[in-house]
Structure 1
């Protein structure tokens, strides 16, 4: 059986002019973080040192991107004393410049990621900023830290904490899901970028996991006290800084409505369970607007021609680093014929009546790896769970989103 579906993020009440005119903002799963990221302090090593050393600091551990958790709904955090054997007492002791000078490519450095502060718990203060510091630490056993990392994993497991499978973790409570999404995406990015895109040499993580740099020197193989070796020249060290920063890959996902506003276009690929359909989606390409990407992807995958496109909401999707930009589009009257011959990504695409979709919402909701729920009628439509933005787009159409959008 699958895990209970968590609630979505809850936004504060908003009676602004925009909300009165366009409706409340939609918050999707993996968004709505309780943390203030205070991103401008990631380069302040005095702040990072103070936050790391504070007794209230909490540390989320990730082993091969699987987070430490009490269960499938709640993350589990450890205190500083648990991670110090791996990170050292002061992982932020030296500045960025000094870290680059002491770089040793033969030594594996654990990534310690600053996530933000929880302002509801203001025990820690730095200048005008108050809140409990949160960090994530990569405890994947590897390289020269393998033994220490494995020891921490074993200690945590012995205390009754598990590392839950993070490949498609969609059961966490909404605040924890947002924290996990940030940590997972950043640690995955760090692990995928061990080498410089400009010269191919090893990079190092700086600014609390939010930047990777290509050091000019290397202490690998140098006797203790010896001068570091100069590395090959690299274009990232010249002119405007183009060092490596975390990437986010924009993806469009769209609920397409028929020209008469009575049907929704849904598709499926070979990975989906029988009768399980979802909205169409695809990557945004360079030099392309969101609206153009919606029209292109819909036509390429289904043959349907889309006219007007309205942006609905977005969803961070940390598998590995996507931003799902949700849209609702309407087919042109002469462009509703389905043709799967352009792009063979889909194995099926169909127009479903609103009544069929309502039945799917009521009786056919399940995750990809889960069985159909109780009450499901064999052969009927199955749809994604509410943690997927596809579900929210479909629901918006059924609730009259197109009619609710005001005319300007």
Structure 2
């Protein structure tokens, strides 16, 4: 199957000082969403309710975080009437403040995410006036339809109805989706996954409530459930809710928990002479398959510091200058890949794998070796190279990987010298 094309960056044809200096911006796979998220309207239940029930609304179903698809390249969507058996008449009918005030932890609420509006849809689209402007577009939502009590049967029925129409839930990592669909799925998956992982407050241990269109979770101060685990104290009168214990999340700026994003560096390392590239391989890689080095950023560490630390820990190489090239959302489960290019110092180019045993091997490859691999040796982990590939030569990640874009930026596109080669 052909590799999906990358999304178009913003204003790709605009000439500017930065474009002339660094070349055109790169928008990596899983980025480039066609949706405007309208984050400032997520707390407006009237907006969400209207968007939910509008005829132009589309709903992406996810079963165990796998998206509903027409085929490997395109997402499939259902309509409001199809998901009503799961979400009910209108889960946004009540303002957030009232939902928190009347919170009952025994009530099961299917997880739903407001993804945004597709403003390219002009005719018969949803329209809403707010913030001194009229906002128009086709609404998009994501819904978790993983069968679980008390809606196991309803979810199974919806899943079967979709499968009867020839639709399927993707298997494995959805890396064959066209660019825009991949970005929509990345948003849906990461938010559904985060909500699923955080049903309880990290401070007091009590159940939390998803609010703000699925982008925040709150720890309500009261709970109308009579479960002993939440019934901590009551007043002398018959109250409709029971006070929960004091919780640090209710003090200070706001009583909210926000989605987790893990910053991760990934770097193409150039030698001091500017004619070789450092690449590494792990044991899980196919034979002759190498990639750029990567690792998680740690607390109180800059991106540049994290890049230098990871490269030294994994390969023993000391970096001098580090610059940022581009970034890539990676929803497995919540990474933001921060793509960098770093250059080694003259006295720090000897490879040493003895610090961190993560890599099986690391090597310096000439630019010519890398260019050949970019032309005939790229593939996914579970795919073979192109027919022209010669056994034993270098293999590299596909274009949908930010590693590929970093490598290409160094050896082909002359990043940092847009009008000349490094």
> TM-score, normalising length from structure 2?
0.92
Quote how far apart the aligned CAs of 1:135 are.
Answer: 0.6
Task: Say whether residues 1:244 and 2:257 are aligned partners.
Answer: yes
Aligned residue in 2 for 1:171? 176
SS in 2 for 1:345: coil
Aligned residue in 1 for 2:231? none
Runs of 4+ in 1 over 3 A off after TM superposition: 402-406
CA contact (8 A) 1:109 1:145 kept: no
CA contact (8 A) 1:281 1:297 kept: yes
Q: Distance in 2 between matches of 1:78 and 1:4?
A: 27
Q: Distance in 1 between matches of 2:207 and 2:164?
A: 35
Aligned residue in 2 for 1:126? 128
Quote how far apart the aligned CAs of 1:204 are.
Answer: 1.5
Q: Distance in 2 between matches of 1:404 and 1:244?
A: 42
Quote how far apart the aligned CAs of 1:394 are.
Answer: 0.3
SS in 2 for 1:205: strand
Q: CA RMSD in A?
A: 1.6
Task: Say whether residues 1:154 and 2:160 are aligned partners.
Answer: yes
Report Cα offsets for 1:62-87 as digits up to 9, x if no partner: 00010011011000011100011100
SS in 2 for 1:401: coil
Q: Distance in 2 between matches of 1:148 and 1:105?
A: 21
Q: Distance in 2 between matches of 1:16 and 1:358?
A: 28
Task: Say whether residues 1:183 and 2:188 are aligned partners.
Answer: yes
Aligned residue in 2 for 1:22? 22
Aligned residue in 2 for 1:404? 418
Aligned residue in 2 for 1:344? 357
SS in 2 for 1:24: coil
Quote how far apart the aligned CAs of 1:402 are.
Answer: 4.0
CA contact (8 A) 1:354 1:398 kept: yes
Q: Distance in 2 between matches of 1:283 and 1:318?
A: 15
Aligned residue in 2 for 1:201? 206
Report Cα offsets for 1:277-315 as digits up to 9, x if no partner: 100001111211111111111000000111111111111
CA contact (8 A) 2:115 2:141 kept: yes
**247-256 or 4-13, which moves further after superposition?**
4-13
Structure 2's unaligned 5+ residue stretches are: 228-237
Structure 1's unaligned 5+ residue stretches are: none
Map residues 46-85 of structure 1 onto 2, 5 A cutoff: 46-85=46-85
Q: Distance in 2 between matches of 1:26 and 1:332?
A: 27
Quote how far apart the aligned CAs of 1:401 are.
Answer: 1.7
Q: Distance in 2 between matches of 1:17 and 1:23?
A: 10
Q: Distance in 2 between matches of 1:281 and 1:135?
A: 33
SS in 1 for 2:328: strand
Aligned residue in 1 for 2:230? none
SS in 2 for 1:393: helix
Report Cα offsets for 1:147-180 as digits up to 9, x if no partner: 2112111111111110002x42111000101101
Quote how far apart the aligned CAs of 1:4 are.
Answer: 2.2
Quote how far apart the aligned CAs of 1:360 are.
Answer: 1.1
SS in 1 for 2:324: strand
Q: Distance in 2 between matches of 1:202 and 1:73?
A: 38
Report Cα offsets for 1:229-254 as digits up to 9, x if no partner: 22222111122225211121111100
SS in 1 for 2:115: strand
Report Cα offsets for 1:38-78 as digits up to 9, x if no partner: 11000111100110011110011100010011011000011
CA contact (8 A) 1:266 1:349 kept: yes
Quote how far apart the aligned CAs of 1:346 are.
Answer: 0.6
Q: Distance in 1 between matches of 2:318 and 2:44?
A: 51
Map residues 94-113 of structure 1 onto 2, 5 A cutoff: 94-113=94-113
Map residues 220-239 of structure 1 onto 2, 5 A cutoff: 220-221=225-226, 227-239=240-252
> TM-score, normalising length from structure 1?
0.95
CA contact (8 A) 2:21 2:416 kept: no
Choose which of 197, 207, 219 in structure 2 pairs with 1:192: 197
CA contact (8 A) 1:14 1:24 kept: no
Choose which of 335, 339, 342 in structure 2 pairs with 1:322: 335
Aligned residue in 2 for 1:309? 322
